[in-house]
Structure 1
């Protein structure tokens, strides 16, 4: 029975390889699925203007998962250009050490990469690696009431506003398309993106600025269709 199972599995794999068309120059590939941004953040301390200064150990940024839309164009059998796009991500921000919710942000991180397909022009699995550039547009920043209350108690602020600068940085990736048929495949991919920003908390008492390196790992699991 075990030998029959192994033979059946081998037949399925072989059939997938036979039915899967090779990636070739001029092909369009559209990938879509669930993409998760998992920040590997490193934050400066937050120094509040008290006497003596109150120092808080930076912030942390949580994960978020959205819908990915990733078009790819094969420039040659082995080289392609890809655009990573997704529906807007939303992240909650927490003040480290004290566990106070600081607020939330939304962002769009479009990333353009040049990719290399070592098996381009051949049937079967299509692994790839790539490198490119990212521009992260951060918007809709909101201060959490818990942080507003803490700032009122610490420095007497009666209003607060949060803003984060947009970011431009490099990106690297690796992934694979696992063929299901001539045109359809399962896609699994990972990116590391350099996202560095300066956060500002503006109050009626003063402004506090600190750097945050978000630097997320980005994971995509979905499907791919070759045109």
Structure 2
């Protein structure tokens, strides 16, 4: 393929995408949310392991490739949880769970702009304080699903309601032998404010 032809194809592709990008002249969206973390706590170790539910802060940044297609990175700081066996506290740990999602945003109706997302979560467990000889896998990779809606309060300010289901799982071992798996798999319901720029 000649250089002029290749250049022409690239130019045509950029010209085709340009109107979609320019139609939404503020491609960045920042949000802060208060999120209720409700853990599924499915345990196959036989120890009835569970971690506590809590409300956590969440920060996310989205970039819109087109008015309808965006990528969102969800962040927080390491969250501390109490680990229990049944109702008995046996230790604690922290988890850092960044999540990357690809989203489709539907066209706005009466100020409401719903969206759906799917992506991947990576969780790193740290500051693990468990009974002697008990250990967990420090890394978890899983799927994440999302549904939410932004409501325009003004031109660049949005009220946000967001629901995510995330796979967070870790293998539990004692004296080097695997006992089973703890599936935290939280449901995350958040409310917050977003700003476009």
TM-superposition CA deviations, 1:180-202 (whole Å, max 9, x none): 11111111101001112102344
List structure 1 runs of 4+ shifted beyond 2 angstroms. 23-26, 159-165, 206-210
User: How many residues matched?
Assistant: 175
Secondary structure of the residue aligned to 1:119 is coil
* Cα distance in 2, alignment partners of residues 25 and 42 from structure 1: 45
Do the aligned residues in 1 keep the contact of 2:43 with 2:180 (CA within 8 Å)? yes
Structure 1 residue ranges without an equivalent (≥5): 1-22, 47-55, 149-158
Provide the residue aligned with 1:221 in structure 2.
Answer: 191
Q: Return the match for 1:195 from 168, 175, 181.
A: 168
| Aligned-partner Cα distance in 2 for 1:73–1:193 | 21
Structure 2 CA distance, aligned partners of 1:124 and 1:83?
A: 24
Note the residue ranges of structure 2 that are not aligned, 5 or more in a row: 1-22
CA distance in 1, matches of 2:112, 2:147: 14
* Cα contact 2:61–2:72 (8 A) shared by 1: yes
State how far apart, in whole Å, the 1-side matches of 2:110 and 2:30 are. Answer: 18
Is contact 2:45-2:182 (8 Å) kept? no
Greater strand proportion: 2
Map 1:1-227 onto structure 2 (within 5 A).
Answer: 24=24, 27-46=27-46, 56=47, 58-96=48-86, 99-119=87-107, 124-143=111-130, 148=131, 159-202=132-175, 209-227=179-197
Asked if 2 retains the 8 angstrom alpha-carbon contact of 1:65 and 1:89, the reply is: no
CA distance in 2, matches of 1:124, 1:42: 39
TM-score of the superposed pair, with normalisation by structure 1: 0.70
State the Cα distance separating 1:211 from its structure 2 match.
0.8
